[in-house]
């Protein structure tokens, strides 16, 4: 089995961290291929960056021409999952929904600890759209950007534990979901500190994709995620178009 795990930003260091986390949770015999978009922001912290990321992720997956069995979108509540499900048959699992699904199997209420306060509403919206909001106790922010989480893991750990503790003590959360792919790898230490289950969305998504593949299930194409109607889309795929433009510029 081969799973493509796509970082939604262009940070190479975060892609490496996501790759390590995905491989740690993958079953023996599962191959993980970690990718990142050819364009976009090196940290996705707002709607503008998220929409660019959505196009970048779809473009990168469609440009990957080797066989694979499923896709993990390693962005917490970012745009693009729905579009990618229309484009390919293989199952696509996004880490926000994956972590919430798993959390609800082991506790009545869960909380999410994410990065900036401005990211909270986007995560709330994704959980509501996905039908996962009713059992969410809270979405809390540690006040760090995605880049800061990537570059300062010690501070990230300290602030995540602080917000997770408040979620447990004040919001009565029974499970904590790490609300950023860059937080992957911190779950065991937080669990030992707070004594509650902590879910890394990357690991949860990898395991769910494996389950879907083993069950021989693919994305339904009967209505919502049917293939887009054939039409001309100028400049698509973007990475191929950009590469051709660069080659033309060099030739000139």
Global pTM value = 0.92
Paired residues of 138 in beta bridges: 111
Q: Which of 70, 44, 40 is nearest to 55 (CA)?
A: 40
178 SS3 class:
strand
Indicate the fold that domain 96-201 takes in CATH. Rossmann fold (3.40.50)
* Class of the CATH-defined domain 2-94+205-219: alpha beta
The pLDDT of residue 182: 85
Tell me the per-residue pLDDT of 207-217, one tens digit each, with 9 for 90 and over: 999 999 999 99
Q: Where are the domains of the chain?
A: 2-94+205-219, 96-201
Tell me the per-residue pLDDT of 72-82, one tens digit each, with 9 for 90 and over: 999 999 999 99
The pLDDT of residue 250: 41
- Matching fold, domains 2-94+205-219 and 96-201: yes
- Separation of alpha carbons 252 and 247, rounded Å: 9
Q: Which helix (H) or strand (E) holds 176?
A: strand 175-178
The pLDDT of residue 244: 52
Distances (CA, A) of 51 to 80, 131, 147: 8, 22, 18
Contacts of residue 104, defined as CB under 8 A and 6 or more positions apart, other chains included, come to: 110, 132, 135
Instruction: Report the pLDDT averaged over residues 184-189.
Output: 84
Q: Which helix (H) or strand (E) holds 111?
A: strand 110-114
Contacts of residue 142, defined as CB under 8 A and 6 or more positions apart, other chains included, come to: 113, 114, 115, 149, 156, 159, 160, 162, 163
Instruction: Report the pLDDT averaged over residues 135-150.
Output: 95
DSSP state of 27: P
> Residue 248 — very low, low, confident or very high, per pLDDT cuts 50/70/90?
very low
Q: Which helix (H) or strand (E) holds 102?
A: helix 95-106
> Residue 251 — very low, low, confident or very high, per pLDDT cuts 50/70/90?
very low
Helices 120-129 and 95-106: angle between axes, nearest 10 degrees: 70
């Amino acid at each position: 089995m081969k799973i493509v795990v796509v970082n939604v930003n262009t940070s190479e260091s975060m892609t490496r961290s996501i790759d390590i986390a995905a491989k740690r949770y993958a079953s023996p015999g599962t191959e993980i291929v970690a990718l990142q978009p050819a364009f976009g922001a090196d940290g996705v912290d707002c709607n503008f960056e998220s929409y660019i990321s959505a196009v970048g992720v779809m473009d990168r997956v469609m440009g990957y021409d080797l066989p694979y069995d499923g896709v993990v979108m390693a962005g917490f509540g970012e745009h693009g999952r729905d579009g990618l499900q229309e484009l390919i048959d293989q199952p696509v699992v996004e880490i926000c929904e994956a972590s919430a699904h798993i959390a609800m199997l082991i506790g009545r209420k869960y909380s999410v600890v994410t990065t900036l306060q401005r990211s909270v509403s986007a995560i709330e919206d994704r959980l509501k759209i996905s039908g996962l909001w009713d059992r969410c106790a809270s979405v809390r922010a540690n006040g760090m950007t995605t880049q800061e989480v990537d570059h300062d893991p010690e501070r990230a750990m300290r602030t995540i534990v602080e917000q997770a503790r408040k979620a447990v003590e004040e919001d009565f959360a029974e499970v904590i979901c790490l609300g950023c792919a860059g937080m992957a790898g911190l779950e065991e230490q937080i669990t030992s500190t707070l004594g509650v289950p902590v879910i890394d969305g990357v690991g949860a998504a990898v395991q769910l994709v494996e389950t879907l593949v083993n069950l021989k299930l693919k994305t339904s194409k009967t209505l919502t995620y049917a293939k887009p109607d054939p039409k001309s889309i100028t400049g698509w795929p973007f990475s191929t178009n950009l590469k051709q433009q660069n080659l033309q510029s060099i030739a000139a």
